[in-house]
């Protein structure tokens, strides 16, 4: 008989209480129990990065983590990047730079790049390429993903420089 346990966490800012099998992966929990199917599953062995989500701000592979491990944590999925219908700056930059084709890898790539941008405000192309190395994409050749990520970082710095709280004139 399967062992179950109750977990309490937040997912994209919403409180979630659920009973899960102790062997259930975080990716399967998100997809099957919460129907958040934006998190994709490719290899299911920690290699491709398609299942990348954030747990307490850190990018993790949802196929390698168990759902019971996020008890008490804040989980963010690709569904939590946008603000309603408004794309996040990174998503918008992906669109402008044609940084996706089939889109299978894209949720995981977005979550990895967002986590990277949260920690690096002024990255080089090499920094982005290195951060992207854990996400496999069969379509794009990666160049457009790097361009979109760099554009987001640049725009974020400009936005910050122009904000009233940072000493700019706010105009
Ligand atoms: S599905 Fe998790 S790393 Fe490939
Ligand atoms: S866009 Fe097709 S696998 Fe990345």
The per-residue pLDDT for range 29-74, each reduced to its tens digit, is: 999 999 999 999 999 999 999 999 999 999 999 999 999 999 999 9
To the nearest whole number, what is the mean pLDDT of the chain?
93
Q: Which residues of 102-114 are buried (b: 16+ CB within 10 A; e: fewer)?
A: eebbbbbbbbbbb
pLDDT of the residue at 158: 75
pLDDT digits 0-9 by tens, 99-137: 999 999 999 999 999 999 999 999 999 999 999 999 999
What is the sign, positive or negative, of the torsion defined by CA atoms of 117, 71, 65, 104?
negative
Residue percentage of the chain with pLDDT more than 90: 89
Does ligand 1 lie within 6 Å of residue 50's CB atom?
Answer: yes
pLDDT of the residue at 166: 41
Picking from 115, 108, 110, 112, the residue whose alpha carbon sits closest to that of residue 51 is 108
Does ligand 1 lie within 6 Å of residue 44's CB atom?
Answer: yes
State mean pLDDT over 127-149.
97
Tokens of 151: 């554009």
The yes-or-no verdict on residue 170 having pLDDT over 90 is: no
Top pLDDT among 85 and 165 is at 85
User: Do the strands 74-76 and 52-55 form a parallel or antiparallel pair, or are they unpaired?
Assistant: antiparallel
Strands (E), the chain: 4-11, 14-21, 52-55, 58-61, 74-76
State mean pLDDT over 80-108.
97
Q: Ligand 1: distance of its center to the CA of 153 in Å?
A: 26
* CATH entry 3.10.20.30 includes domain 4-80: yes
Cβ atoms of 86 and 95 within 8 Å: the answer is: no
Ligand 1 atom, smallest distance to 44 CA: 1
Angstrom distance (rounded) from CA 42 to CA 105: 8
The CATH number, out of the four listed (1.10.150.120, 3.40.50.970, 3.60.150.10, 2.40.40.20), of the domain defined by the range 89-165 = 1.10.150.120
User: Do the strands 74-76 and 58-61 form a parallel or antiparallel pair, or are they unpaired?
Assistant: unpaired
Residue entry with tokens 């920094």? 127
Protein residues whose CB sits closer than 6 Å to any atom of ligand 2: 100-106, 137-140
Residue entry with tokens 């996400």? 135
Does ligand 1 lie within 6 Å of residue 48's CB atom?
Answer: yes
The yes-or-no verdict on residue 162 having pLDDT over 70 is: no
How many other CB atoms are found less than 10 A from the CB of residue 133?
11
Which residues of the chain form CATH 1.10.150.120? 89-165
pLDDT of the residue at 161: 67
The yes-or-no verdict on residue 169 having pLDDT over 60 is: no
Tokens of 82: 């946008």
Tokens of 153: 């970082």
Which residues of the chain form CATH 3.10.20.30? 4-80
Quickly state the pLDDT bin for 2 (edges 50, 70, 90).
Answer: confident
Q: Ligand 2: distance of its center to the CA of 14 in Å?
A: 29
Q: Ligand 2: distance of its center to the CA of 141 in Å?
A: 9
Residue 116: how many CA atoms within 13 Å on its side-chain side? Answer: 29
Q: Report angle CA 64, 128, 57 to the nearest 5 degrees.
A: 45
Picking from 7, 155, 163, the residue whose alpha carbon sits closest to that of residue 93 is 155
Ligand at minimal distance from the CA of 40 is: 1
């Amino acid at each position: 008989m399967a062992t179950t346990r109750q977990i309490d966490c937040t997912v994209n800012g919403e409180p979630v209480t659920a009973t899960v099998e102790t062997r259930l992966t975080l990716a399967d929990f998100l997809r099957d129990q919460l129907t958040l199917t934006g998190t994709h599953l490719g290899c299911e062995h920690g290699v491709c990065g398609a299942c990348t989500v954030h747990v307490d701000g850190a990018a993790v592979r949802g196929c390698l983590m168990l759902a019971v491990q996020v008890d008490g944590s804040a989980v963010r999925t690709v569904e939590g990047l946008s603000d309603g219908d408004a794309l996040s700056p990174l998503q918008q930059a992906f669109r402008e730079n044609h940084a996706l084709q089939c889109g299978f890898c894209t949720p995981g790539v977005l979550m990895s790049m967002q986590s990277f941008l949260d920690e690096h405000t002024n990255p080089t192309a090499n920094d982005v390429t290195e951060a992207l190395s854990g996400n496999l994409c069969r379509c794009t050749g990666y160049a457009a993903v790097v361009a979109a990520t760099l554009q987001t970082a640049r725009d974020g710095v400009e936005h910050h420089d122009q904000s009233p709280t940072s000493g700019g004139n706010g105009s």
